[in-house]
Structures are given as C-alpha cells and as structure tokens.
Amino acid sequence: MDERFDLAYRLLDEQIVDVDGRRCGRVDDVELIGAAGEPLRLSGLLTGRGAYAARLPRRLRALGRKLFGDDVRGATVQHVPWSQVDEMGATVRLLGRAIDLGLGREDRGLQRPFGRIPGG
C-alpha cells in the first residue's frame, strides 16, 4: 500500500534519532536518484553541515560552503539509506545504532575526555 507523504513537511529538517533514542543529527537534505522521465527513488537522508550550502539561497551558497564546508560524503555529510528509516513521527527514527551508521561521530569522539572529568 503506497502512502503519500510530503517530503518537505514530514522529513526535511526533522530530528534523526537512532534505535537507542540517541539524537544523531537532522535531515539536512534528502537524496533522490534517477534520470529525467524515469521513476525517481528516495535513496536516503543526508545529514551534516556539508549539506547546508546547497539549501541556502543561490547567492549565499559560496559563503555557505566557506562557513560550513563542502559536501564531502563520509566527512561533512553522512548518507543514511532509506532502508534504515523505521518511522517518521515527531522524529525520524532509525532501525540501527548511530555508531553503525556513521552518525554522531563528533559526540563520540568527545565522550572520553568529558567522561574523565568528574561529574561529566
């Protein structure tokens, strides 16, 4: 049963949450693949600051790339396959863990130093 939903309304800019309930980014963009005149497929979500520039007004894109970086897959932008999306509600919940999907790496990197400080 095909359900129609509004990409911009239900998906874009929503909080992504992994299977453990951990916040791991926002849907900063979506990736559609296909060719002109042929069925387009939603391949997945894009999350990361590298996706910001493309969404800014044209005139600000160059500035956006300088501030937030270019679209470098695996570095400034992570691709989350559509198959990993469990449900779209108040948040976009994933089937897997953030660590397995390459999300929230920066937070994990800082986890140990902060953990060493008492009270952290």
Task: Count Cα neighbours of 64 within 13 Å in the Cβ-side half-sphere.
Answer: 14
Residue 111 as a binder of other proteins (CB under 8 A): the answer is yes
Ranges within 61-90 binding other proteins (CB under 8 A): 90
User: Who contacts 79 (Cβ-Cβ below 8 Å, separation ≥6)?
Assistant: 31, 43, 44, 45, 46, 73
- Residue from 45, 46, 50, 52 binding other proteins (CB under 8 A): 52
Report, in Å, the least distance between residue 90 CB and other proteins.
5
- Among all chains, which residue has been given the structure tokens 């911009």? 8
CB 71 within 8 A of CB 77: yes
Report, in Å, the least distance between residue 39 CB and other proteins.
27
Can you give the binding site for other proteins, defined by CB under 8 A? 12-16, 22-26, 28, 47, 49, 52, 55-57, 60, 90-91, 104, 106-107, 109-115, 117, 119-120
